[in-house]
Amino acid sequence: MIKLDGVKKSFGKKTVLKGIDGELGEGVYGLLGPNGSGKTTLMRCMVGLYRLQGGVIAYDGLDLAKHSEVLNRVGYLPQKFGLFKELKAYNMLEYFATLKNIPKDRQREAIEKSAEVVNLSDRLHDRVGSFSGGMIRRMGIAQAILGDPQVILLDEPTAGLDPEERMRFKNIISSIRREKTILISTHIVEDVEALCDHILVMKEGLIAYSGRDSGLREWARDKVFWVCENANLPAASYVEKRSEEGDGVRLRVLSSAPVEGGEPAEPTVEDGYMTIIKEV
Amino acid sequence: MGKLLYLRFRSMGKLYFVVPLALWGLLPLLCWLSYQQVKGMAGGLVEAAGYLEQMGALFAVWWPCLSLKEEVEGAGSELLFVHMGQRGRRTACDFSTLIWYLFHLWALGGSLLVADGGFLVHLVKTSAQIVFMWGLCYFLIAVLRSTSIPLMISVGYGIAGQMLEEPAKSQWTIFGTAYQVNWELVEHKYLWVLGIGAAFCALGRLLIQRWRK
Residue A73: what pLDDT?
A: 86
Helix (H) or strand (E) holding B99: helix B90-112
Q: Are residues A99 and B213, on separate chains, in Cβ contact within 8 Å?
A: no
pLDDT in tens, A16-61: 999 999 999 999 999 999 988 999 999 999 998 888 999 999 999 9
Q: Is the pLDDT of residue B181 over 90?
A: no
| Closest CB to A83 among B3, B12, B74 | B74
Identify whether the C-beta of residue A273 lies closer than 8 Å to the C-beta of residue A188.
no
Distance, in angstroms, between B75 CA and closest chain A CA?
Answer: 5
Residues of chain A with Cβ-Cβ distance to B81 below 8 Å are: 49
Q: Are residues B3 and A94, on separate chains, in Cβ contact within 8 Å?
A: yes
Of all residues in chain B, the percent with pLDDT exceeding 90 is: 43
For residues B134-151, give the mean pLDDT.
Answer: 94
- Average pLDDT of chain A is 89
**Least confident among A24-28, A243-247, A275-279, B55-59:** A243-247
Q: Is the pLDDT of residue B39 over 80?
A: no
> What distance in Å separates the CA atoms of residue B211 and residue B213, rounded to the nearest whole number?
6
For residues B83-107, give the mean pLDDT.
Answer: 84
Helix (H) or strand (E) holding B98: helix B90-112
C-alpha to C-alpha distances, B44 to A157, B39, B113, nearest whole angstrom? 61, 7, 10
Residues of chain A with Cβ-Cβ distance to B77 below 8 Å are: 83
Residues of chain A with Cβ-Cβ distance to B13 below 8 Å are: 85-86
> What distance in Å separates the CA atoms of residue A247 and residue B42, rounded to the nearest whole number?
100
Which residue ranges form the domains of chain A, and what is each CATH number? 2-211 (3.40.50.300), 218-277 (no CATH)
> What distance in Å separates the CA atoms of residue B106 and residue B88, rounded to the nearest whole number?
28
Residue B177: what pLDDT?
A: 82
Q: How many residues does chain B have?
A: 213
Q: Which residues of B18-50 are buried (b: 16+ CB within 10 A; e: fewer)?
A: ebeebbeeebeebbeebbeeeeeeeebbbbbbb
Residue B40: what pLDDT?
A: 63
Q: Are residues A99 and B83, on separate chains, in Cβ contact within 8 Å?
A: yes
Residue B112: what pLDDT?
A: 74
Q: Are residues A49 and B81, on separate chains, in Cβ contact within 8 Å?
A: yes
Sheet holding A224-228, edge to edge: A237-245, A248-255, A224-228, A263-264
Q: Are residues A95 and B11, on separate chains, in Cβ contact within 8 Å?
A: yes
> What distance in Å separates the CA atoms of residue B12 and residue B79, rounded to the nearest whole number?
18
Sheet holding A74-77, edge to edge: A74-77, A151-155, A181-186, A27-32, A198-203, A206-211
What letter would DSSP give residue B166?
Answer: T
Q: Is the pLDDT of residue A209 over 90?
A: yes
Chain B interface includes A1 (CB < 8 A): no
| Closest CB to B86 among A68, A86, A140 | A68
Distance, in angstroms, between A210 CA and closest chain B CA?
Answer: 27
Chain B interface includes A159 (CB < 8 A): no
Q: Looking at chain A, which residue has its C-alpha nearest residue B76?
A: A81
> What distance in Å separates the CA atoms of residue A157 and residue A147, rounded to the nearest whole number?
19
Strands (E), B67-158: none
Residue A235: what pLDDT?
A: 77
Four-point Cα dihedral A262, A263, A266, A272, nearest 10: 10
Identify whether the C-beta of residue A74 lies closer than 8 Å to the C-beta of residue A153.
yes
**Strongest mean pLDDT among A189-198, A229-238, B45-54:** A189-198
**End-to-end CA separation in angstroms for chain B:** 25
Residue B184: what pLDDT?
A: 86
- Work out the pLDDT band at B118, boundaries 50, 70, 90: low
Residue A78: what pLDDT?
A: 92
- Average pLDDT of chain B is 87
Residue A165: what pLDDT?
A: 84
- Work out the pLDDT band at B88, boundaries 50, 70, 90: low
Chain B interface includes A88 (CB < 8 A): no
Q: Where do the structural domains in chain B lie, given as residue ranges?
A: 2-209
Chain A interface includes B7 (CB < 8 A): yes
Chain B interface includes A133 (CB < 8 A): no
Q: Looking at chain A, which residue has its C-alpha nearest residue B12?
A: A86
Q: Collapsing DSSP states into helix, strand and coil, what is residue A180?
A: coil
Identify whether the C-beta of residue A182 lies closer than 8 Å to the C-beta of residue A152.
yes
> What distance in Å separates the CA atoms of residue B123 and residue B187, rounded to the nearest whole number?
14
> What distance in Å separates the CA atoms of residue B46 and residue B35, rounded to the nearest whole number?
10
> What distance in Å separates the CA atoms of residue A237 and residue A118, rounded to the nearest whole number?
42
Considering the entire predicted model, what is its pTM?
Answer: 0.85
Q: Quote the crossing angle between the two packed helices B148-163 and B41-59, to the nearest 10°.
A: 150
Q: Collapsing DSSP states into helix, strand and coil, what is residue A269?
A: helix
Q: Collapsing DSSP states into helix, strand and coil, what is residue A101?
A: coil
**Least confident among A90-99, A230-239, B93-102, B162-171:** A230-239
Residues of chain A with Cβ-Cβ distance to B7 below 8 Å are: 87, 91, 94-95, 98
**Strongest mean pLDDT among A157-161, B88-92, B101-105:** B101-105
